[in-house]
Chain A
Amino acid sequence: MPRFLSLVVLVAAWAITAALAQSRLLPGPLAVGATTLAEIRSGELPFQMACTLGRVIGSFAIAMILGSIAGYAMGRSKTLDRFADSWLVVLINMPALVVIIFAYIWIGLNETAAILAVAINKLPNVIVVMREGARALDPEIDEMASAFQFTRFKKLRHVVIPQLAPYLAASSRSGLSIVWKIVLVVELLGRPNGVGFVLGSAFSLFDMAKILSYAICFIVLMLVIEGFVVQPLERRANRWRRRLA
């Protein structure tokens, strides 16, 4: 309820400001709503959102899979950690824009470059979190698993992944928001479609209603994914914790 109320206050403040300003540069909620409806009817908005969402999912998946493997390996092996740590520092501090420009120049203005550029931007963050997770694995449980001769697969599924689940959840939550923000930049710089591309062209026309309607729709979509996919998965992974006496 407070959450809903805060949303109402926000929209009301926006409407009042827009009414007072009476400017083309700040359309009110009604104008933005009308633009959104028109864009949805024409099929333009769903198409552009689908393009962006596809890129988000692709780069998110690549970053999570590679990042988890690398992070786990670095958390388990001191030698590897010392070896790869400086690469990780470089990767963390590389500006997103630089990675995107390199990818477009070296790979070309195509989908592969776009998705890879985003994945590489997200990767170091996943690695850092998963490395912490791998370091925190319980050595006593490990010993139990080897005493009872757990197979590799059994150990991964029942011993390692459940212990890493909170770290996976943390990195995928922060990951999703980083990824979609960077995807928009990638689209702005070198893709002929997607929300980022639309925002770029709307910017050159000073079409604020369009910018606001696309931005809001995409934020809503991401919140829906967070609330209906990420959170339920997290709850499922943590159900044993909630029963603690």
Chain B
Amino acid sequence: MSCNRLNDAQTAGDAALLELRIDAKSYRSADGTPVEVVRGLKLRLEAGSFGALIGPSGCGKTTILRIAAGLDADFRGELQRPRSGRLGMVFQEPRLLAWRTVEQNIRLALPAERAGVDLTDLAEILGLRDHLARYPGELSLGLARRVAIARAFAVDPDFLLLDEPFVSLDEATADRLRNELAALTTRTEVTTLFVTHDLPEAVQLADRLFFLSDRPTRIILEKELSPSRGMRSKDMVASISDEMRALAAQAERSN
């Protein structure tokens, strides 16, 4: 049933770093009936850009992200991303190894050629400098999330996936982390796919928005944002969000 492939991108530079086509994805529920999660979804991300998937809770965003990460090969469609590309991933839960220290957690994710790399800068940016020797069980959720983000950036990824990394954080912490994430993605020019149900968050961070429908999920609206990310003030984010919300509602009605 699965016929996906991982291909090298044909051309370098401006080529799409990620092309994902999911014709159908379903899984079997506990009572054995198949549940269709995604149908007819097409997604393309250019190198260095930041895409955000926005949709209601439970619409299959995580499923799409897991397929994009290559963690789930059981779908009908095609996934193309450069084989040589390194993946960094931030899951919805921090998913740290509770029995290893923060620093070990970050270092363990590193590929062999980056072993022994200096983590001071990254730890400084994410405010982890004083916590490197601690165990994840001693950290607050906000700190654990930062460790997960640090781990994803430490591998120096070509391709970064984030699955609602800021849910269940207080607004101040979430906001600070958003700014840190924005700074890091701009600095490293990593191609990023971000999943959220929070529209202003997506507007603040992304270049391109993909609005998702309910199950079975597909893209109902795709929008390129201007001005470029990082240049948007708080008011701009708010007004763009309102505009996008109206557009998305309209797109949903017309479907």
Nearest chain B CB to A144 CB, angstrom units: 4
A125-147 Cβ-contact flags toward B at 8 Å (1 or 0): 00000000000000011011011
Whether B89 lies near A144 (C-beta < 8 A) is yes
Give residues of chain A (147-171) contacting chain B, Cβ–Cβ below 8 Å. 147-150, 154, 158-159, 162-163, 165
| Stretch of B91-99, B123-131, B175-183, B190-198 contacting A (4+ beta carbons < 8 Å) | B91-99
A243 and B135 in contact, given A140-B93, A143-B71, A162-B97 (Cβ under 8 angstroms): yes
- Size range of the chain B interface in the assembly: 20 to 34
- Size range of the chain A interface in the assembly: 20 to 34
A158 and B111 in contact, given A140-B95, A240-B135 (Cβ under 8 angstroms): no
Whether A144 lies near B95 (C-beta < 8 A) is yes
User: In whole angstroms, what is the CA distance A143 to B135 when docked?
Assistant: 20
Asked whether B64 is an interface residue with its Cβ less than 8 Å from the other chain, the reply is no
- Write out the residue numbers on chain B whose beta carbons fall within 8 Å of the beta carbon of A140: 91, 93, 95
- Residue picked from B69, B87, B97, most chain A C-beta under 10 Å: B97
Across the interface, A240 reaches (CB within 8 A) one of B88, B91, B98, B109, namely B98
For the residues of B in contact with A, the DSSP-based class is: loop
B95-130 Cβ-contact flags toward A at 8 Å (1 or 0): 101111000100011010000000000000000000
Give residues of chain B (128-179) contacting chain A, Cβ–Cβ below 8 Å. 134-135, 137-138, 151, 155
Whether B137 lies near A241 (C-beta < 8 A) is yes
Whether B155 lies near A244 (C-beta < 8 A) is no
Whether A147 lies near B97 (C-beta < 8 A) is no
A148 and B99 in contact, given A243-B135, A245-B137 (Cβ under 8 angstroms): no
Across the interface, B71 reaches (CB within 8 A) one of A147, A150, A244, namely A147
- Write out the residue numbers on chain B whose beta carbons fall within 8 Å of the beta carbon of A240: 98-100, 135, 137
Number of A-B contacts (CB under 8 A): 54
> Which residue in chain B gives the minimum CB-CB distance to A163?
B99
User: In whole angstroms, what is the CA distance A143 to B89 when docked?
Assistant: 10
- Write out the residue numbers on chain A whose beta carbons fall within 8 Å of the beta carbon of B111: 149
User: In whole angstroms, what is the CA distance A146 to B69 when docked?
Assistant: 10
Across the interface, A148 reaches (CB within 8 A) one of B66, B89, B100, namely B89
- Write out the residue numbers on chain A whose beta carbons fall within 8 Å of the beta carbon of B155: 148
User: In whole angstroms, what is the CA distance A96 to B137 when docked?
Assistant: 43
| List of 5 A-B pairs having minimum Cβ-Cβ separation, nearest first | A148-B109, A162-B99, A147-B89, A144-B95, A240-B99
Which residues does A use to contact B, with CB under 8 Å?
A: 140-141, 143-144, 146-150, 154, 158-159, 162-163, 165, 240-241, 243-245
Q: Can you list 13 contacts pairing A with B, beta carbon distance less than 8 Å?
A: A141-B97, A147-B69, A148-B151, A149-B87, A150-B109, A154-B108, A159-B97, A165-B99, A240-B98, A240-B137, A243-B134, A243-B138, A245-B138
